[in-house]
A = this chain, B = another copy of it.
Amino acid sequence: MDTKISLATRLSCSKLHFVVESTEHKKSHFLIDKMMWNGNRSDDVVVIHITSVLRTKEMKLNLYSELVKVLTVNPGVRKEDIFVTIVDNTPENWSFGKGLAQLST
């Protein structure tokens, strides 16, 4: 399964564009309640911060389930360890280069 195509489908867009910046935290620099919301988390929690133009609630729920489907296969994260939070913004809040606001009309 191609992760990008799969996620794009769930997000109802023909192409999926994203930038990934990842940081590994030393244990002393990371704190999470392993049982919050009956989480049953391990030491290998992945916290995914997403900034996105506003999507529908349905698209967000689909994204969560798709992220679990994809990441539990590769690289093999436990589904309990996938923590996601989204911050919504607007089309004019993106510049993809050259000083332009490509999503803004």
Contact = CB atoms under 8 A, between A and B. Distances in A.
Interface of A: 15, 17-25, 29-33, 36-37, 39-41, 47, 49, 51, 57, 60-61, 64-69, 79-90, 92-102, 104
Nearest to A29: B22
Nearest to A49: B51
A93 B46 CA distance: 16
A89 B88 contact: yes
A45 to B, nearest CB: 8
A95 B84 contact: yes
14 contacts: A19-B32, A21-B25, A37-B102, A39-B97, A61-B101, A65-B99, A68-B98, A68-B99, A81-B97, A83-B96, A84-B94, A85-B94, A86-B94, A87-B93
